[in-house]
Every structure is written in structure tokens, then in C-alpha cells.
Amino acid sequence: MYLKGENISFGYKKDNLILKDVDIALESGEVLGLMGDSGSGKSTLCKILSGYVPNYQGTISIDGKKISSKGYNPVQLIFQHPEKAVNPKWKMKDILNEGYLVPQTILDSFGIKKSWLNRWPNELSGGELQRFALARALSPKTKFLIADEITTMVDAITQAQIWDIVLDIVEKLNIGVLVVSHDKTLINKLCYDVISLADINKV
Amino acid sequence: MSSAIAMGNKSLFQGLNLRQKTILIISFTSILLFAIVIISLFLAGNALPTNFESKNLAPSLEHPFGTDWMGRDMFVRTLEGLGLSIIIGAFASLISTVLTLILGLFSSLGKTADSFVSWLVDLFLSVPHLLLIILISIGMGGGTKGVIIGVALTHWPSLTRVVRAEIKQLKTQEYLHISKNLGNSKWWIATKHILPHLSPQILLGTILMFPHAILHEASVTFLGFGLSPHEPAIGIILSEAMGYLSAGYWWLAFFPGLSLLIVVLAFDMIGENFGKLMNPKMAHE
């Protein structure tokens, strides 16, 4: 399976493009790194790929088919700030199972404890919340995972733990991952292939 | 720090913390209002006897609010009027809240729906409020029914505006987009994600709508477009008292007016203290 973005152009203002004719392709099971400076449009590209931005130019397809804007999106995006990705008025168990009933095996591998499930989001740390956000997105229906600086806010040990788990699950489920980061060493460690946004962006 | 707070706490309810005080104020005022409604419901069955021997008496122990030109006890009349006002206010704010809820959630469905709702809000807010109540109330055939419908149909715009703004802010939240990406429908998101965030606004808005509704009911009735003259509404009492003010019968207007003010302030106090409880960030303002 291929997730392909072709000729993607986008600007938050009409005459000020941030992305121009960007081509990007991601294969199932592939772990692809994407580097870029702050403000270069990495997050914008991530949002476009996972259907968060409606009015871009170009096409995004999986095996040549456009992704429907209704129903479960096979391309799931994980954000940099997990505390913004959870509804503060929901308990953790509701947040976790919003998309599908997360199996115990995934909970165990992420180290999500039973007692956390009855807590409110503000009672958990950023690293813990990010585990929930990842577990929530790794359903069998997910084919591609866009990881937009998902471990920037945690310490090195937690970072290594989280990525170990994610890579393990992703391999089992044959999910393609786009790893977005500033951190060259992290990307070199995780990815088979690295692209720089500056090279593919023709702004 | 706790001692500093305790030092500044030398008021009526010494020894209670702010939270307990807030709850105490809410309970006191609620009991007062409930008592008025219940007493007025008991009184409503038996018509007030007219007694021309004791007409136009000044306030005394026997008649705390005095008597009117037909010898009716003003204290009882005022209580009945206030009860009626509170019941009408309750009806009106309940209907207004339901309207707000429906329009607010409807505005979350899309851009066209949102523009329609804000257009409707602007339309209703552009007509003078009292005028609109009078028009609707007459159009619906006047009387109690007309007043309730008139007051209910004109109090939703400002709350709807607040709720719509809240929804607009919520819709930029990442978890709403994630929910959509997880395959949830717009209606599911509106009821499960957005509604829980709106409940404090709506609850507070309803309570604070009460005094508005009561005052509008009283003013419409005062102007003669509302309840029929034989009903003991506050508006009727006040407009009747107008004719006797020049004769020196001040108590006919003073006590009913003061009671109306107290009821309205009581609702305001409940609303404000409720707001403090639900939004602790505001408690220090």
C-alpha cells in the first residue's frame, strides 16, 4: 500500500504559499523520516496528509484512491502536544476507546496501567497522555501513522521507550510511519530513509 | 497564606471557607424563592376577600404591606404576584434555554448553519426587546399564554451568542479533529464532545435569564399588554398603585416593588455564586 501526496500546494494566505508542489510517498511498513526547520511547513504537510486541512491543492491518495472525508481515516496523525489532543472533560478510558476498543495487549505494551483509566487527563503527565494518544490511533484500520514531533516533550529515556513500542506495533500491523522531527540523531536511529522538506518543497 | 485568608474572613459567617459560604448563600436564596412559589401556590386557590372596612390602611403588624382600596391585604397579593412571576420566569427561561441548545448545536454542524444562527440572533437583537415581547404577546392572543410565549421567544439570542462563541472556540481544538478522523459523525461530536463543555454556560445562562424574564413580564404587564387585570401579577399591582401614589398611599407601590427587586437580586446572587462554584478561576473577581 502506498500513501501518496502529489503536487501539494498550500498557503494560509492566498498569495503566500508555504508548500509548493510537494511530492511525498510512504509505503506500508516503511518508517520514513522528515526533517525541516521550524516554520518550514512540516506540521502543515502532516495535517494535509491526514485530512485536517480541507482546501489544499494537489492530490492525496492511497493506492490511487482518494481518501474519504467521512468514516475512519486510515491516515492518523499524532500531535506534538498530547494534552491538546484529549478532551479535558472525558475520563481516560473514554478517550482511549473513542475510535475502537483498544486491546489489552496494546495497553500492556505501552505500559498503560488500569488505574490510569479512571483518571482525568490533567492527572496524567505528557508522556503518559502521548501513550494514550498513540494507543487510540493504532487501530487495525489505521494504515499510516503521521508522527509530528510526538516525543519532543519527553525525556530521552521515555522517548526511547515510546519509539520502541511504536516501532514494534507498527511492524506487526504493517503500518507506514512518517517520523517528523528536528532531531537528526533520533531520525537516523529510527528511519530507513530520511527526506528533508527543503529538498521537496519548491517554494 | 491560609491564616491571611482567615484574617480577612471576619464577616457574618465566620469560620466558613469561601466555598461553604457560597453554597450557604445559594441555599438561602433558593429556599427563599421556593418558599415564595409554594406559598403563592397555596394562596392561589382562595380569592382574596374584599373588605371595604379596612381599605387603604397603612402598613401595620396586621397588614405588613398595608391594604389597597378594596381592603385586600397587599402582603398576600404581593406574594401571589411574585409566585406567578417566578413561575412565568421559569417557563420562559426553560423554553429559551432549549431554543439556545438546539440553535447552538445546530450552529456547530457547518458554516451555513452557523451563519444562519448568527443571522437569526442579529435579527432578534436588532428589534427593541420590549417591543418584540409586546408584538409576540399580542400576536399570540395576549393573556398569560401570550406573555409566556413572548418572553420565552425573545430571551434566547444573547445566550445563543455566548454558546455559539464557545462552540467556535471549541471547534479549533485538536481533539475534535481527531474525533472526526476516528470516524465519528458531526452529530456524535456535537453531543459527546461539545455539549459537556457547554453545560456550565447553559446552566448559568438559564439562572441569569430568570431575572430578565421576570422583569420583562412585569414591565409588559405594567404597560397593560400582559396578564389580565384580575390576576395578582406584580406588573398589575404596580400599575394600579400608580393611580394612588398622588393620594399618598405609598405602600401600594413601595412594598411590591421592593419585593420584586429582592426576588430579582436573589436570582442574580444564585447565578453569580453558582458561577463561582463552577468556574473557580472567577472566584477572585
Write out chain B residues lying below 8 Å of A71, CB-based: 183
| Each residue's pLDDT expressed in tens, for chain B with a length of 285 residues | 444 444 444 556 667 787 888 888 899 999 998 898 888 888 776 656 777 777 777 777 777 787 777 777 888 888 888 888 888 888 888 999 999 999 988 888 888 999 999 999 999 999 998 999 999 988 988 778 888 888 888 989 989 998 999 988 998 899 999 999 999 988 899 889 988 888 888 888 888 888 888 888 888 888 888 777 777 788 888 888 888 888 888 888 888 889 989 988 998 888 888 888 876 665 554
For residues B133 and B131, give the distance between their C-alpha atoms in angstroms, rounded to a whole number: 5
For residues B275 and B100, give the distance between their C-alpha atoms in angstroms, rounded to a whole number: 19
For residues A12 and B155, give the distance between their C-alpha atoms in angstroms, rounded to a whole number: 39
Q: Residue B106: which CATH number?
A: 1.10.3720.10
Is some CB atom of chain A closer than 8 A to the CB atom of B178?
A: yes
Residue-wise pLDDT for A13-32, tens only, equals 888 888 999 999 999 989 99
Note whether residue A80 is domain-resident: yes
Write out chain A residues lying below 8 Å of B184, CB-based: 98
Q: Name the average pLDDT for chain A.
A: 90
CB contact set of B1 (below 8 Å; sequence gap of 6+): none
Q: Which amino acid is at B193?
A: H
Return the pLDDT at B114. Answer: 92
Write out chain B residues lying below 8 Å of A80, CB-based: none
A166-A171-A172-A177 Cα dihedral, nearest 10 degrees: 60
Element (H, E) at B63: none
Note whether residue A123 is domain-resident: yes
Give, in order, the Cα–Cα distances in Å from B263 to each of B25, B77, B207.
Answer: 14, 15, 12
Return the pLDDT at B220. Answer: 87
Element (H, E) at A68: none
Is the pLDDT reported for residue A194 higher than 60? yes
Write out chain A residues lying below 8 Å of B193, CB-based: 87
Q: Are A118 and A90 in contact (CB under 8 A)?
A: no
Note whether residue A13 is domain-resident: no
How many domains does the structure of chain A reveal? Answer: 1
Note whether residue A76 is domain-resident: yes
Question: How many CB atoms are located within 10 Å of the residue A42 CB?
Answer: 22
Note whether residue A1 is domain-resident: no
The residue segments making up the domain with residue B26 are: 17-45+63-284
Residues of chain A with a CB closer than 8 angstroms to some CB in chain B: 50-52, 70-73, 76-77, 79, 81, 84-87, 89-90, 98-99, 136-137
**Owner of C-alpha cell 509548493:** A20
Return the pLDDT at B1. Answer: 42
Burial class (CB in 10 A: 0-12, 13-18, 19+), B273: buried
Q: Please, which residues bridge with residue A180 across strands?
A: A34, A148
The three grid cell numbers given for residue B96, joined into one nine-digit string: 429559551
Note whether residue B2 is domain-resident: no
Q: Are B94 and B58 in contact (CB under 8 A)?
A: no
User: What is the pTM for the complete model shown?
Assistant: 0.75
Return the pLDDT at B282. Answer: 58
Write out chain B residues lying below 8 Å of A99, CB-based: 182-183
Ranges of H-type helices in chain B: 2-7, 18-44, 74-107, 111-126, 129-139, 143-152, 156-170, 174-181, 186-189, 195-222, 234-245, 251-278
Is some CB atom of chain A closer than 8 A to the CB atom of B109?
A: no
B44-B46-B52-B56 Cα dihedral, nearest 10 degrees: -20
**Owner of C-alpha cell 477572585:** B284
Q: Please, which residues bridge with residue A9 across strands?
A: A57
Return the pLDDT at B281. Answer: 62
Residue B182 Cα, gap to closest chain A Cα (Å) = 5
Q: Are A82 and A137 in contact (CB under 8 A)?
A: no
Note whether residue A152 is domain-resident: yes
Go through B156-186 and write b for each residue having 16 or more CB atoms within 10 A of its CB, e for each that does not. Answer: bbbbbbbbbebbeebbebbbbbbbbbbbbee
**Sequence-ordered strand ranges (E) for chain A:** 2-10, 19-27, 31-35, 57-62, 65-66, 75-78, 144-148, 176-180, 193-196
Residue B69 Cα, gap to closest chain A Cα (Å) = 59
Q: Mutate which of B111, B169, B170, B182 to test chain A, going by most A C-beta atoms within 10 A?
A: B182
Is some CB atom of chain A closer than 8 A to the CB atom of B179?
A: yes
Burial class (CB in 10 A: 0-12, 13-18, 19+), B247: exposed
> Regarding predicted confidence, which is higher, A97 or B76?
A97
For residues A107 and B12, give the distance between their C-alpha atoms in angstroms, rounded to a whole number: 54
Return the pLDDT at A177. Answer: 94
The three grid cell numbers given for residue B283, joined into one nine-digit string: 472566584
Q: What is the mean pLDDT of residues A85-101?
A: 91
Note whether residue B54 is domain-resident: no
What's the sign of the alpha-carbon dihedral B167, B171, B173, B177? positive
Residue A195 Cα, gap to closest chain B Cα (Å) = 26
Q: Residue A193: which CATH number?
A: 3.40.50.300
The residue segments making up the domain with residue A140 are: 29-54+66-200
Note whether residue A61 is domain-resident: no
Residue-wise pLDDT for A34-68, tens only, equals 998 888 888 999 999 998 888 889 999 999 888 88
Q: Are A150 and A79 in contact (CB under 8 A)?
A: yes
Residue B110 Cα, gap to closest chain A Cα (Å) = 14
Helix pair B143-152, B195-222: axis angle to 10 deg: 140
For residues A35 and A26, give the distance between their C-alpha atoms in angstroms, rounded to a whole number: 15
3-state class of B125 per DSSP?
helix
For residues A137 and A69, give the distance between their C-alpha atoms in angstroms, rounded to a whole number: 17
- Model confidence at A163, in pLDDT bands (50, 70, 90)? very high
How many domains does the structure of chain B reveal? Answer: 1
Return the pLDDT at B175. Answer: 93
Give, in order, the Cα–Cα distances in Å from B7 to each of B2, B258, B283.
Answer: 9, 35, 18
For residues A111 and A106, give the distance between their C-alpha atoms in angstroms, rounded to a whole number: 8
Note whether residue B9 is domain-resident: no
Note whether residue A23 is domain-resident: no
For residues A30 and A174, give the distance between their C-alpha atoms in angstroms, rounded to a whole number: 8
Binary contact (B183, A84; C-beta < 8 A): no
**Owner of C-alpha cell 422583569:** B215
Note whether residue B138 is domain-resident: yes
Note whether residue B129 is domain-resident: yes
Q: Are A112 and A129 in contact (CB under 8 A)?
A: no
A117-A119-A125-A129 Cα dihedral, nearest 10 degrees: 40
Go through A190-203 and write b for each residue having 16 or more CB atoms within 10 A of its CB, e for each that does not. Answer: bbeeebebeebbee
Percent of chain A past pLDDT 90, that is, above it, reads 51
Is some CB atom of chain A closer than 8 A to the CB atom of B182?
A: yes
